[in-house]
Amino acid sequence: MENTSPDFAVGELWNPLSNRQDGKLDCNQDGHRNELMQWVHNVGGRVIAFDFTTKGILQAAVQGELWRLKDPNGKPPGMIGIPSVVSSTSTSFSKLNFYLSSKRSLL
């Protein structure tokens, strides 16, 4: 980032969310969120990141788990509040493993 000084940059750090033994998302995704935020910080905060923490939480929330929309401290579970993106070609219809249907994607 320092060598090119772009006006706009988007990064993607795709790490798995934390899951329970039954395969469902763990209630605590702090590690995932913190790793992503640290990555943004390490590049000087001049990059917008795909917020896969929020993306994963939203997918579970719209399946009847709305309680996931805030963490145990009452805060959003992902990077909401700093520049982030929750959809990309990596999360599109062709990749059904991480797809949020258009019926459920109005935020």
Q: pLDDT tens digits for 38-76?
A: 888 887 767 777 888 888 888 889 889 999 888 888 888
| Integer Cα distance of 34 and 37 in angstroms | 5
pTM: 0.68
Question: pLDDT averaged over the chain?
Answer: 76
